Amino acid sequence: MRKGCTFPFHQSKLQNTSQIRTYSSNRRFPAMFPKLFTILFTVATAVFAVPFGPAPALVESLVPFSSATANITGEVGVTATNPTMLFYPTANCLSGGVRHTLLDRVFQTCYLPIPNPFTSVKIDNPDGTYLPYTVWVSFTGESCPTGILKIPQSNTCYNLTPTGNGWQRRNDAGGTF
């Protein structure tokens, strides 16, 4: 044995060179498993963490809303003096809106409005008083009640990304001004 050269085992215990190769191979092989596991875990985490589309969003319209100039049709018996939901097939609540009543809707029940899908939405609250409930919308690709977002304020138009396909009135999350 040469000076300065160290081995993790004593040479006298080994019979031939094949034992040396087997011993050294077995010493490196177990160290490979943690590295392989770390690489596979990192790749799997990265693949499953990437979203498959844009997150649903409500974006306040930059166009001021006026119910006097909007082309709105309504459900039978719905008056414009009570709080109502307005659904539009166009962005910025511009035209083709359909009015749905809020007063007789059952809480935590999903409704499919006309038009479906809708691109913009508004809570029309003519007297501007506090509403003791909230209104939520679901997005295309989701099924109500999953994937829903709360409409934050009445008398404001919101554009939906992607389009909406359902809504519900809720009494478990505060109210709306």
Total structural domains in the chain? 2
Residue 59 has pLDDT above 50, yes or no: yes
Q: Assess whether 39 and 119 both reside in one domain.
A: no
Q: Assess whether 95 and 163 both reside in one domain.
A: yes
Distance (Å) of CA 169 to CA 58, 72, 101, 110: 17, 21, 11, 8
Q: Assess whether 44 and 92 both reside in one domain.
A: no
69: in domain: yes
Which amino acid belongs to residue 52?
A: F
CA nearest neighbour of 123 among 149, 92, 85, 150: 85
Distance CA(102)–CA(79), nearest Å, equals: 11
- The 10s digit of each residue's pLDDT in 77-121 is 555 678 899 999 999 998 888 888 888 889 999 898 888 899 999
Here the CATH number for the domain that contains residue 133 is 2.60.20
Q: Is the pTM of this model over 0.95?
A: no
97: in domain: yes
φ/ψ of 20, rounded to 5, equals -65, -45
Q: Assess whether 124 and 154 both reside in one domain.
A: yes
Q: Assess whether 76 and 155 both reside in one domain.
A: yes
135: in domain: yes
Distance CA(92)–CA(64), nearest Å, equals: 8
Structural domain including 94 reads: 57-170
